[in-house]
Each structure stands twice: as structure tokens, then as C-alpha cells.
Amino acid sequence: MLHLLDQTPEHLRAWFTERGLPAFRAAQVRRWVFAKPGIEFDQMSDLARPLREQLAEAFCIWTTRVAARKKAADQTEKLLLELSDGQRIECVLLRDDKGHQTVCISTQVGCAMGCVFCASGLDGVVRSLTTGEIVEEMLRLKQLLPDGERLTHVVVMGMGEPLVNLDRLLPALEMATHRDGLGISARRVTISTVGIPKGIRRLADLNCQYHLAVSLHAPDDDLRNRLVPTNRKIGIAAILEAADYYFEKTGRRVTFEYVLLAGINDQPEHAARLVALLKGRPALVNLIPYNPVAGLPYRTPAPAASARFAGALEHAGITVATRFRKGDRIDAACGQLRRSQPGAPDRGADA
Ligand code: SAH
């Protein structure tokens, strides 16, 4: 059986035309699925019954099951989705008072990057998600909204490294931005990467309007090699060059994410080096106070230390946003909910 959400619009149209069916029926099916997540073919009331049966024999629409659902006081909701092979991934719905409804999605089961402070990579990577599974994350989260409410933003900041799964992610994002899909503006899609120059350049050359965020986390290679081990093969200089290229090609300013880890990368000297590194670049810095992971030794800096760090960057003319923490009580740091569930592959020191 084919996974319907894994079919690009072209593939689905071809399936119809090959059977002598009008191609507009493909768009009709897609509109149902994106408008009413959870729907089955037999509920698609404007399709003839034999066609509904034919579709149900060829395709399954939904392949995931909600294994756990958690809601925080600030309305942040997190889903643990079980995939057809029993693997589990996380995705999150975030809301704010400006009417933004943002989904945060995963691109892999686990992660191979090994960032030392992150829960997602503690057990390595199991596999990449398919296009259909990535689309399904967005639709399962949309299903949590009251009827008629729309998703407005996508952030690819869940488990996994999106730029090593671009071939599957890009068609999923096309469906997110397509008018027969979720109709979300490409400018409201953010892809967060550990910093893979080849992937960044590939994305730049597509000339799409996605917003790129690069997880820098350190102002020099010595420290970055320790926090983000994959940096040893890459180096900050190559990442910044690729980020500059992204800006040249797309006109979109790149965000640099910087997780503040108490006593490790949050000192005035780190701020000064970060200023020197980014000076003259049209960069935004997103400071993320660390969200502690059970079993790992890293700590969140005191608010005054974060404010001092932000102040030093701002004083040098760098645009800074400090990420407002959401969903604290629901294991919102990527990978934490998955690890806290019974049957998790290895519960580590927090078990
Ligand atoms: N692989 C992508 C997506 C990772 S998750 C990347 O590296 O960008 C998105 C961001 O959250 C990354 O910047 C990641 O380093 C950061 N992050 C991971 N664990 C965190 C934690 N426990 N607290 C705060 N930020 C965390």
C-alpha cells in the first residue's frame, strides 16, 4: 500500500490519469486530507463510492498513532507519534497571543550529530523520516486545533538534522506551503541546521524563501568542537561562508542559534568573540537558555547572565532575540519526551 501523504501532487495526479480518471480529483483528495486531518476515504463525500473504494485499496492516508499527548499551562502541546515500524518521534504545537500557531517537527528518528547537551542524539540516529511521515506530523498537530483554525508557521527544530534528509523534507515543505496543502507562507518556515555547508548551499540555490537558522553555540572552533562534535570535520569559517551565500542568494538574513550553557559558553569573553565573529554580517542571534536534560551535566544560566550576554551583543549592534521558553513541564526539549516513555531504547542516566 502506498502512503498517500508520501505522494507529491504530480505523483498523485499521475495515479489518477493513468487510470483514466480526471486529474482534478487528485487535488480534491489532497484538499480533504489537509483540511480534515484524520479523515478516511469513505468520508470524502464528493467522490463517487467506487472511487473511494479504489483509493482505499491503493493508499493508506495515516500511518502514525498518537502514543502520548502532553499539554503545558501555556497551551504548548507535544505529541509522541508512533510510526508504522514502532519507532517514536516528537512534534510540538506552540501558540502565542499574536495568533501564531507554530508546529515544530522532527526529520529523523534520533540524530547522528551528537551535540553533547541535546537529548535527541543520545542514542544516535535510527533512520530518516519519509516525506509522508513529516507531513503527517504537521497534520496530527493541526488536528489539535479547533475546526477552521490554521497553522501559521513551521519550524524544523525537532529531532534530527534536516539537511541530511533534504530530499524528503523539501517535498513535505512544498505541501506545507502549497495552496492545496497547508497554505503556509514559505517565509514562515524555518529550517534549523547544525551547519552543513553543502546542504545550506543547496537550499540557497533553490532560491526558496525559507528562513535558515544555524546552530552555532560557540564563538570559536575549540569550543564548538567540544559542544558540536560534527564541527571537527567542518569548522565555523565554512559554515559562515555558506550562511553568507544563503543571504546573497535569497536576501533572507540568517539566524544564528546559541544555546546558553552556564559557565561553558555564556561568559563575557564568549560574547566578545561572538561579536568579533559576526560583526559586519547581516545576522540575527537567537539566544536559547538551556533546557536541562535529565542525566546531562549542563545547566541553565541565571537570567542575569543571559541578559548580560544579550546586552553585550546588542551593544555591538547585533540583533538579538532571547527565545521564550515554552512547554517547560512537558519535556519540550527535543528528544526528552521520547526518552521518558516506557520502552524507550535506552533511558540513560535518568531512568
Ligand atoms: N539539528 C538541528 C535541529 C536541532 S533542534 C540543529 O542542530 O539546529 C533546534 C535547536 O535546539 C538547536 O539549536 C539545538 O542545538 C537546540 N537544543 C537542543 N537541545 C536543547 C536543549 N536541551 N535546550 C536548549 N536548546 C537545545
pLDDT, tens digit (0-9, with 9 covering 90-100), for 159-182: 999 999 999 999 999 999 998 899
Residue 168 bridge partners (DSSP): none
Each residue of 279-337: pLDDT tens digit? Answer: 989 889 999 999 999 999 999 999 999 999 999 999 999 999 998 666 655 555 556 66
Active site residue 118: no
Q: Which residues of 183-194 are buried (b: 16+ CB within 10 A; e: fewer)?
A: ebeeebbbbbbb
Query: How far does residue 117's CA lie from ligand 1's centre (Å)?
Result: 9
Beta bridge partners of 207: none
Q: Give the model confidence (pLDDT) of 117-143 as tens digits.
A: 999 989 899 999 999 999 999 999 999
Q: Which helix (H) or strand (E) holds 138?
A: helix 131-142
Q: Is residue 334 annotated as a catalytic residue, yes or no? A: yes
192 by DSSP, 3-state: which? strand
Does any ligand 1 atom lie closer than 6 A to the CB of residue 118? yes
pLDDT at position 336, please?
Answer: 63
User: Given this model, what pLDDT does residue 148 score?
Assistant: 81
Ligand 1: nearest atom to the Cα of 160: 1
Tens digit of each residue's pLDDT (9 = 90 or more) over 21-59: 999 999 999 999 999 999 999 999 999 999 999 999 999
User: Rounded to the nearest whole angstrom, what is the distance from the C-alpha of residue 208 to the centroid of ligand 1?
Assistant: 23
Q: Is the CB–ligand 1 distance for residue 275 below 6 Å?
A: no
pLDDT given for residue 180 in this prediction: 86
The model's pTM is 0.94
Query: CA–CA separation, 244 vs 164, rounded Å?
Result: 20
CB of 333 closer than 6 angstroms to any ligand 1 atom: yes
Residue-wise pLDDT tens digits, 226-262: 999 999 999 999 999 999 999 999 999 999 999 999 9
Half-sphere exposure of 230 (CA within 13 A, CB side): 19
- 257 Cβ closer than 6 Å to some ligand 1 atom: yes
Output the CA 324–ligand 1 centroid distance in Å.
14
Nearest CA to ligand 1 atom 14: 215
- Give the Å distances, CA to CA, from 185 to 27, 31, 230, 281: 19, 17, 32, 26
Q: Given this model, what pLDDT does residue 222 score?
A: 98
**What's the pLDDT score for residue 348?**
31
Does the beta carbon of 259 sit less than 6 angstroms from any atom of ligand 1? Answer: yes
